[in-house]
Chains A and B, each alone.
Chain A
């Protein structure tokens, strides 16, 4: 009976996750064909060549946690307001405002930011009120804005869920025992929302590890992440084995990041019964 329920998921995993990963592993130990593509071989040269993309790895491993942290700092107050302060009658509307944009493709929304940050957008408004014409598009700031905008809902929702589940009487108990609001926040609210914080952070970090569209569109292609390196290796220089080696390495990084994140979450929650949302 259980097997019947699990079968579709297992099949899906096998076809779309395990098999491609095996293919990637095989490619990673091969060689690039002269015209591009893959030649069967067993060599570690692709992995030895990884330092050639050290900058991309460095940028990615910096951007992913920093971007996630930035999202966290903005998302937490929003989630807190939604879960603990907002009038329950307005809550559905407010959540919709956060979720509905997700029904549109990220590409379109990022293009919208290209116009907002481009010369005819915000800078022209600033110019109209007498401020100097500053370039916003294709700057690191624009990339951060895009990342914040694109990933914020993914951070807000898990935190909101864990705060929404928070037993309000625990907050009363804390206040009753003499804790001022700030002490209650750091002593009760924050630790108990840690599963949501860790879920959101892990989710955003992992997705950011593969991000390439936002730096491409809002950063002008001048900032190079692992995602961009992969796109170029597969779609420009057609170096499948090297691209596979990088992808395999990235997967390993994701696994390590996830493991560490889960351990931290367990420690904070004080139990192994961490429910991911």
Chain B
């Protein structure tokens, strides 16, 4: 291994299928040992990027580097990366042990059989599947198959592990457990993980960096908190987390947002002009009765256990989503109740339109 700072690097990479541009001019650097999530709606090019790292696709333009070595034209079997495939792609004709040891058995010069068995056992232990080695693939549950896929992909100690929607096929409870497991596995192994997902919660919870993609381009790459709190674009704000949108004009001076109905909202210093302001539901405080703030009427209430979600028809503005802590809302508002919504000027995320 080299001492490169980046395990994976994209330099002006584009990928075209005929007339269709799947990936456009992407520059990307994945730091060594990082857990990076490629996040975006389907068709945004994230899977194509992953497949270009794996070697299953070749870039039409630009260079993909792994360990600082250009990978153009290098077939998958000569790349120091391994992949956990969507739906796992386990070999149905082989048992668990043969699936996991498959990569080791491809090594040339050949690895001693006992060594193969030892390392296979280790890998299975690592994913807590010791004792399952003789099982057939179709005898395993989804979660167990997922772990076999993991063990199979890490056994060759790749520089980079690629994960293509690895949790999509699991139920919610198992997914949460696997998120934690994946995170600790990554720390234990110390290898770079590149994960593709369309699930923002998954991306935010596991990764060190979230790389949000849209229409073949990287829109923002930053740690999860920053992506959520300071989305680079309206698209990122919309895609990551829930939002309320307010359209208006920032007046000269940059302190006032004038809404369509003439109402003025205070904002933190902004450039004047037409904007769309975005407000997270949890940034809004809700109070019974009318007072200083936006007045409105509760139309729906969704009880979430640890929190309550309200849909409020704000006067002159329209529907707004509000998430309130249980502790903050001692008595719950009922549909039909008049309420007042308040928020700090800093929580308004303003994007010029």
Contacts and interface: CB of A to CB of B under 8 A. Distances in A.
Interface of A: 167, 169-170, 172-180, 183, 187-188, 191-192, 268-271
B132 interface: no
B92 A177 contact: no
Given A178-B107, A187-B102, A271 B138 contact: yes
B77 A180 contact: yes
B103 A178 contact: yes
The A interface, classified by DSSP as helix, strand, loop or mixed, is helix
B152 interface: yes
B77 A178 contact: yes
Interface stretch (B81-89, B169-177, B291-299): B81-89
B136 A270 contact: yes
B77 A179 contact: yes
B92 A192 contact: yes
Q: Which of B83, B86, B89, B138 has the most CB of A within 10 A?
A: B89
B138 to A, nearest CB: 7
A180 B79 CA distance: 12
B82 A176 contact: yes
Given A177-B82, A179-B77, A169 B87 contact: yes
A177 B103 contact: yes
A246 B75 CA distance: 57
Interface string B29-55: 000000000000000000000000011
Contacts of A179: 77, 102, 106
Given A167-B89, A188-B91, A173 B83 contact: yes
Contacts of B95: 270
A101 B86 CA distance: 42
Given A268-B93, A269-B93, A270-B136, A176 B87 contact: no
B94 A175 contact: no
A175 B156 contact: no
Interface in B94-111: 94-95, 102-103, 106-107
Contact of B89 (A169, A183, A191, A268): A169
A177 B100 CA distance: 10
Contact of B83 (A170, A176, A180): A176
A271 B93 CA distance: 8
A131 to B, nearest CB: 44
A178 B156 contact: yes
16 contacts: A167-B89, A169-B85, A169-B86, A170-B91, A173-B89, A175-B56, A175-B76, A176-B56, A177-B82, A177-B106, A177-B152, A178-B77, A178-B106, A180-B106, A183-B106, A188-B91
Contacts of B91: 170, 173-174, 188
